[in-house]
Structure 1
């Protein structure tokens, strides 16, 4: 009888554990911002015991759209999660088949913010943002790049050039597989200017290998000694946010459970400590307000893409 009771108890425990386990999609290669956020989520869910044994998997391609095409088929499953941000919203809008949209997802929470920074080699003649925008007006063949086409860096660069009176349609963006690869290309003499996530560029900035000309934040950020574009008279800003989503079709109980778990995670000291270590900026915005933010953000990104000539 004792053995039967023990077996039953172990079965119930295993079942409960399986039900609380999440599968988290990072729709990008390992090592990038989406992958880091997904693994931080899984690690915090485990160490806080909110949902042990969460599994992360990667499906890269098309700025996140390739992975999402399969993810949205798991409609109604509250234990399937995906992390992405601004770049993937842009990728959805530039995707040729239009097979995925925000209507296919349940926004759970906005979790982190990052900012773009325009950088040039330390030996560059461009010492200020004004120098750079003037150079672009006289030389539209300036080699400008960073991560993928329609990435946060591409959008911010276009925003800066347009706000300073330049012809943004002449911007010829040179894409790399990621921010780090773009910086390496610039240091190798293949690019004149790069727009990168500040977190990726920080070590090169502090080491003096590159010069930071402008940060995409709305106002000066404590601890970051880089002027914003707005400080320099250019009305341009961009927040490169990332959040977590579930498939569409969750019932009320599923949404409530998921919102509770992610809310407790975002307020935990383990989560905040991990983000500091990873040089990510915590910004928790729960589901309802996150969904409202997304409605406005989608329209803004659509306008930026149209200005760049990437959509009609």
Structure 2
């Protein structure tokens, strides 16, 4: 019969082996720190996305989430910083989307989305075209008549050059037989700046995501003319462009990307954290508040989607002659 001491040592060794086995089988430790780079100035859609995701990640268990802004050139300045600073960093996220895809194509940017790691598409949003409440333009028909008669007399206020708003204007011009080179497009750094320009009479018509102008539409300071969706948006009695004879449809999507060269394990961990966050109440409240569509897409499906978006946007920009020479 073994001695009590030998029995105790045997039990201790057995317990240690069991514990080591459990540790080996345990899943990787969840992220406790995330840094989000928003490649735009505070206040716009990307900033709202980044700060909304910050709250959602914290609500879903990430201890520390930091958000930094680095605006300029349709997000490509922030993209360049992220490519240089986040290599191999499994806790870094970059907010981006269709505006950045357009900016890269328009500016022939040396940095590309292929240099970062697609994590997830998060939201989708259609544009609304608005004019000041006292504008003589009452409909898309009025706007198109003026645009076709004298393209330069219509100034369009939207977001970054080459972004979704700019591409929509170019698509409208092409659809209406207007020379794209005669478009008078005035880029703004955010929806707030664009709204001020429109209400101040500095531009003829503005376009951006509905949420950017919702307050001014509600108080009747701005009049909505059309949305760029295939059907009217739920709860909003605003006709589509197609209803009014302009065959144009385009959505602005936003998502997040990981750093260059992160491992499969790091990518899996980041994706899991984002997926958990978008199921949180904080994120669901943000979608409802901003009128954003939940278009969550991750993994290979999102990577394929980004590649398709890049190819189609480059084609649009090239066809419309928007790219810098």
The separation in 2 between residues aligned to 1:211 and 1:95, in whole angstroms, is 32
Residue of structure 2 in register with 1:92 after alignment: 104
The separation in 2 between residues aligned to 1:137 and 1:278, in whole angstroms, is 34
SS in 2 for 1:77: coil
Stretch of structure 1 that moved more, 171-180 or 105-114 = 171-180
- Deviation by residue 1:71-102 (Cα, 9 ceiling, x = unmatched): 11222222111111111111122335x32101
Q: After TM superposition, list the pairs within 5 Å mapping 1:273-312 onto structure 2.
A: 273-311=285-323
Residue of structure 1 in register with 2:157 after alignment: 145
Structure 2 spans left out of the alignment, 5+ residues: 1-27
CA contact (8 A) 1:146 1:183 kept: no
Q: Normalization by structure 2: what TM-score?
A: 0.85
Q: How many equivalent residue pairs?
A: 295
CA shift at 1:67, angstroms?
A: 1.6
Q: Normalization by structure 1: what TM-score?
A: 0.88
Q: Which has the larger radius of gyration?
A: 2
CA contact (8 A) 1:145 1:176 kept: yes
SS in 2 for 1:89: helix
SS in 2 for 1:25: strand
Residue of structure 1 in register with 2:219 after alignment: 207
Structure 1 spans left out of the alignment, 5+ residues: 1-15
Specify which of 111, 126, 129 is matched with residue 115 of structure 1. 126
CA shift at 1:273, angstroms?
A: 1.6
Change (3 A) 1:266 1:172: same
CA shift at 1:19, angstroms?
A: 5.2
Report whether the alignment pairs 1:59 with 2:54.
no
Specify which of 101, 106, 126 is matched with residue 137 of structure 2. 126
CA shift at 1:103, angstroms?
A: 1.2
The separation in 2 between residues aligned to 1:99 and 1:269, in whole angstroms, is 39
CA contact (8 A) 2:83 2:259 kept: yes
Cα RMSD of the aligned pairs, angstroms, is 2.0
CA contact (8 A) 1:17 1:52 kept: no
> Structure 1 stretches (4+) deviating beyond 6 angstroms?
none
CA shift at 1:17, angstroms?
A: 8.6
- Deviation by residue 1:179-210 (Cα, 9 ceiling, x = unmatched): 22122112212111111221111122222222
The separation in 2 between residues aligned to 1:183 and 1:31, in whole angstroms, is 12
Report whether the alignment pairs 1:136 with 2:147.
yes
Residue of structure 2 in register with 1:8 after alignment: none
- Deviation by residue 1:32-88 (Cα, 9 ceiling, x = unmatched): 211111111111111121x12111111112121112112112222221111111111
